[in-house]
Amino acid sequence: MEKRIRSSLCLPHAPVIRSYASIAGQKEGDGPMGDCFDRVEQDAYFGETTWERAESRMQADVLTRALEKGELPPAALDCIVAGDLINQCTSSTFAMRSLHVPFLGVYGACSTMAESLLLSSLLVDGGFCRNAAAVTSSHFSTAERQFRFPLSYGGQRTPTSQWTCTAAGAVVVSAEGTGVRVRGGCIGKIVDYGISDANNMGAAMAPAAADTIFRYLQDTGTAPEDYDCVVTGDLGNIGSSLLLELLRAQGVNLAVQHRDCGAMMFDEHSQDTHAGGSGCGCAASLLCGHFLPQLERGEIRRMLFAATGALLSPMSAQQGESIPCISHLVALTAEGVE
């Protein structure tokens, strides 16, 4: 079996998703997906003294929960692949420092769940790890403080803006066992359509998702109908419409199979979240809370997971730069499905 088809990857050993867990904050718990998470935490501080420590705590807790569900001690992990939105990825590194597990830090903004899951799967499929974990998180308050305004400033949000989810997800990928399998993937290319409005990231990210999904379908000779769903990370309502439009222009109709975690997370009208949810934790928590359980129960059999990231920084926005974006894709199947 070829491991590469043009720019897409096939995983001949189809690593198994041994376990996974999700945590979400109160607002996410109050939303339409609120019942799917392993834990909904009412305290935005997660028992810590700063929001940054809260996000690290959430990330440590979600990995611990995934390990418990997989009946593995931390020492059984050959590698943790993790990242987050916060400067120098401290949510991840501070979360993982007590575990003494080999650690690969990644930065893919809100595409991190797909990047870390793809990398974990490649390390397992390549025989370099027996068990590897992919972990990420985001926190509304750490992200607002860093990327936008002090919360107490009470800035008016634009109609295109999205709401950074307080949420986290962790997936343990293993060489052995049965369950949901990682069949392939596609490493994203950086796509920049020249959008420089940091309050319209869905629009900025849609071309990256379109590029990756289109390449994967082309490379593998498959069509949207071959999947039960094709899931993007946090395009939100505006970005989702653009994605469908961009793909339609290339002859691909994704309207039936497309789901977007950002559009699913909140009730736009009652929760005042504008264009939808965002943040690494948005796609991560719905992958682990909603889609992986559906795959495990066989309610969906084949899915593509393409989280998207906007690779901007506050400084790049201040300097008037446009927003480079990326989308990594992971192909998942239910047990027994080729």
> Site residues (CB under 8 A) for its own copies?
3-4, 7, 9, 50, 52-53, 78-79, 83, 85-90, 93-94, 96-97, 99-109, 115, 119, 122-123, 125-130, 186-192, 311-316, 319, 321, 324, 326
- We find the least distance from the C-beta atom of residue 11 to its own copies, in angstroms, to be 9
167-174/163-164 β-pairing: unpaired
- We find the least distance from the C-beta atom of residue 167 to its own copies, in angstroms, to be 20
Query: Nearer Cβ to its own copies, position 16 or 123?
Result: 123
* Amino acid at site 171: V
Query: Nearer Cβ to its own copies, position 152 or 318?
Result: 318
Whole-angstrom CA distances from 327 to 96, 206, 335 are 25, 9, 26
Given a contact cutoff of 8 angstroms between Cβ atoms, the answer to whether 269 and 254 are in contact is no
Query: Nearer Cβ to its own copies, position 129 or 331?
Result: 129
Helix (H) or strand (E) holding 303, with range, is strand 302-310
Query: Nearer Cβ to its own copies, position 317 or 337?
Result: 317
Distance CA 260, CA 65 (A): 25
- We find the least distance from the C-beta atom of residue 23 to its own copies, in angstroms, to be 21
- Cross-strand pairs, 25: 41
Whole-angstrom CA distances from 188 to 54, 67, 216, 323 are 30, 28, 10, 15
- We find the least distance from the C-beta atom of residue 143 to its own copies, in angstroms, to be 12
- We find the least distance from the C-beta atom of residue 237 to its own copies, in angstroms, to be 25
Distance CA 100, CA 248 (A): 47
Query: Nearer Cβ to its own copies, position 114 or 180?
Result: 114
Query: Nearer Cβ to its own copies, position 135 or 191?
Result: 191
* Amino acid at site 121: S
Query: Nearer Cβ to its own copies, position 153 or 225?
Result: 153
Given a contact cutoff of 8 angstroms between Cβ atoms, the answer to whether 165 and 279 are in contact is yes
Q: At what angle do helices 236-249 and 201-220 cross, to 10 degrees?
A: 40
- We find the least distance from the C-beta atom of residue 266 to its own copies, in angstroms, to be 24
- We find the least distance from the C-beta atom of residue 148 to its own copies, in angstroms, to be 14
